């Protein structure tokens, strides 16, 4: 379910360190996407864009985690990101970070504030 400023998912659809849920952000361009993941019981949302070059992270839709499920990985360059901070800890963008978005989980519903990404597309 979406409106102009948020996108929502059922909490049950987001498993711990598993497939992320992607969403479109058309207000920022035809190809702008974001994603939400669950890591160590908490929900995090990011703009789906590598900090090295502006390509989407997932190699297959929703595949954001490494095989060991401890980092997010860019399929193009192999950059590794901390799931809870978005900080790049290995790869060509080390020291940079993913662009976080405001996300809330309440009453079995996850809601991402799309307007929280506006600063990245200005």
Domains of the chain: 6-120 (2.102.10.10)
pTM: 0.95
Q: Is the pLDDT of residue 3 over 80?
A: no
pLDDT given for residue 122 in this prediction: 83
% of residues, the chain, pLDDT over 70: 98
Ordered alpha helix ranges (H), 22-100: none
């Amino acid at each position: 379910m979406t409106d102009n400023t948020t996108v929502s998912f059922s909490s049950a659809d987001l498993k711990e360190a598993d497939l992320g849920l992607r969403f479109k952000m058309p207000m920022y361009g035809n190809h702008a996407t974001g994603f939400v993941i669950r890591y160590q019981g908490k929900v995090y949302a990011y703009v789906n864009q590598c900090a090295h070059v502006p390509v989407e992270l997932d190699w297959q839709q929703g595949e954001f985690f490494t095989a060991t499920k401890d980092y997010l990985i860019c399929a193009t360059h192999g950059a590794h990101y901390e799931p809870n901070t978005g900080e790049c800890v290995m790869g060509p963008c080390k020291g940079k970070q993913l662009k976080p978005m405001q996300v809330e989980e309440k009453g079995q519903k996850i809601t991402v504030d799309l307007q929280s990404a506006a600063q990245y597309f200005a």
